Structure 1
């Protein structure tokens, strides 16, 4: 199992010396022309030279407005498919909305950009049709090492985190989230899998779910899972995972399955993510009492 504590100070120091520099967005701008306006910035982008992946990768980070006005520490939500042209703005916007409306706790959002989603978010299939159609697929374990050994230590060394972590993803990213929960449950405290692509490799992950759940250590964790109207094949695999959870839930696990048959694969993410954040990161009792 990947453990954040396994990263020594020396390794982390060497990693930070390699790079991790911020892309600060536009340089200190000159006064814009009257008709040009000003850029609206919700986060910052960073390039990480990854030894695990052997290439430079990008993460995007949102911190709540309160971060600059005190010394509080914050939970961190990691978003898979978190590129600027992927889901970073959607989910960081929800975190911002939660702050404005007081419906969620303040949090840091880290978008982990993907480049080749079939390679990074799936397991290897023995089916020759998969190999032919997606020749690069099947390196989710390697991508998980990148997240555990490089992204998380970088974030924890640079920002005031409180040690509580969550991971969120939809579609293939949801499959990666669910696989991580089943295979490496200690990586995160909370998991949000939205319409996970359990059809992958003829439902191999769903078929393994009972055996994988039996290996969990019983620590306190949360799983929040939903699915749109995805057709019989996907629904059957989701049902298999739900059945495994009902039959033998690991001690310490709090799990929610909230299907959304009125949604499609294209429409489910934003509304479901909002509900997940409210369920997992509702305002603390003292904050709610003060409003």
Structure 2
């Protein structure tokens, strides 16, 4: 009787169930700004079963303790509905976000609060000369690359679109922190030479104040090749990524699916500010 009880114990039952590691991608240990960090790459579901090439999506703040799982999950959820085209998903971990994602500031209050901030240009060069070549050397890409980020990373996206638009084929700046440096990015956009730029998805939540002023000014100067998601009455800064990344990917990486509207998976781009 005693042996029978032991044989049916939960421990024994667990030992008899086959298991294997759950592997979803590849993590590369890289370094910039004097700090090591991870670049996490996940391939489209059918990558190994075809010879197709795919666009690259660079997702900022893409560390395992950051937005990696959330943003990857939403990208894969889009795939279930064919809401956006499949991508080589590249989550780039940030370590000192203000240092890496924001340009210098003339605001004394920001200097005190974020004394290391101001090296976005160097981080942008690292992305373009190190990370994109790394991914393209390892995987079948179709030559296109897209950049997405939220908050401070959204400022980085908007800044890159403004000062180096040719680096990527499309941009998603979710609730960008355009209050930074007394809204200098939105002020300077008016003085930047007008040119054809890649598509830009840019959003505004309930931030109000200088952030709202900066975003609205940026949108007014950005031209027509954009989708402005004005969600001031619907979203908070904290849930912008949850609410809008699927829509941003739908805008940047459209498919031919004709059932999206039936299920409420639509783009809601404001024709003008205040819509």
TM-score range, shorter chain: 0.7 to 0.9
1:45 to 27, 39, 44: 27
1:103–1:283 contact (8 Å) kept in structure 2: yes
Counterpart in the other structure of 1:6: none
Aligned to 1:156: 136
2:207 paired with 1:230: yes
The match for 2:80 is 100
CA displacement 1:142-181 (0-9 Å, x = unmatched)? 1001101100000011100001111000000000000000
- Aligned partners of 2:243, 2:102: CA distance in 1, in Å? 25
Q: Which residue in 2 is equivalent to 1:86?
A: 66
Q: What are the superposed Cα offsets for residues 18-60 of structure 1, whole Å, 9 maximum, x if unpaired?
A: xxxxxxxxxxxxxx8468965543322111244xx34433200
From the superposition, tell whether residues 128 and 259 of structure 1 become closer, same or farther in structure 2 (CA, over 3 Å): same
**Distance in 2 (alpha carbons) for counterparts of 1:33 and 1:267:** 41
Whole-Å separation in 2 of the counterparts to 1:167 and 1:42: 21
Among 218, 231, 241, the residue aligned to 1:269:
241
8 Å CA contact retained: 1:121, 1:172: yes
Instruction: Please give the residue correspondences for 1:52-63 in structure 2 after superposition, counting only pairs within 5 Å.
Output: 53-63=33-43
Partner of 1:278: 250
Output the TM-score relative to the length of structure 1.
0.78
Pick from 181, 184, 202 the counterpart of residue 182 of structure 2.
202
Decide whether aligned partners of structure 1 residues 86 and 36 sit closer, same or farther in structure 2, where only a CA change above 3 A counts. Answer: farther
Q: Deviations over 1:63-86 (max 9, x none)?
A: 111001011000111011111111
Whether the 8 Å contact between 1:127 and 1:201 is mirrored in structure 2 is: yes
SS at match of 1:65: coil
The reply on whether 1:244 has 2:232 as its aligned counterpart is no
Q: Which segments of 5 or more consecutive residues in structure 2 lack a partner in the other structure?
A: 1-13, 261-275
| Inter-CA distance 70–124: structure 2 relative to 1 (3 Å threshold) | same
Q: Equivalents in 2 of 1:102, 1:243: separation in Å?
A: 32
CA distance in 2, matches of 1:93, 1:172: 21
CA contact (8 A) 2:152 2:176 kept: yes
Shift of 1:127: 3.0
Q: Measure how far apart 1:98 and its partner are.
A: 2.2
Contact 1:64–1:99 under 8 Å retained in 2 = no
Larger Rg: 2
Distance 1:121 1:36 in 2: 44
Given that 1:105 and 1:284 are in contact with CA atoms closer than 8 Å, whether structure 2 keeps it comes out as: no
Which position in structure 1 is the counterpart of 2:8? none
Q: Which residue of 2 aligns with 1:76?
A: 56
1:258 and 2:240 aligned: no
Q: Residue in 1 aligned with 2:269?
A: none
- Once residues 223 and 163 of structure 1 are traced to their aligned partners in structure 2, the CA distance between those partners, rounded to angstroms, is 18
Runs of at least 5 residues in structure 1 that lack an aligned partner in the other structure: 1-31
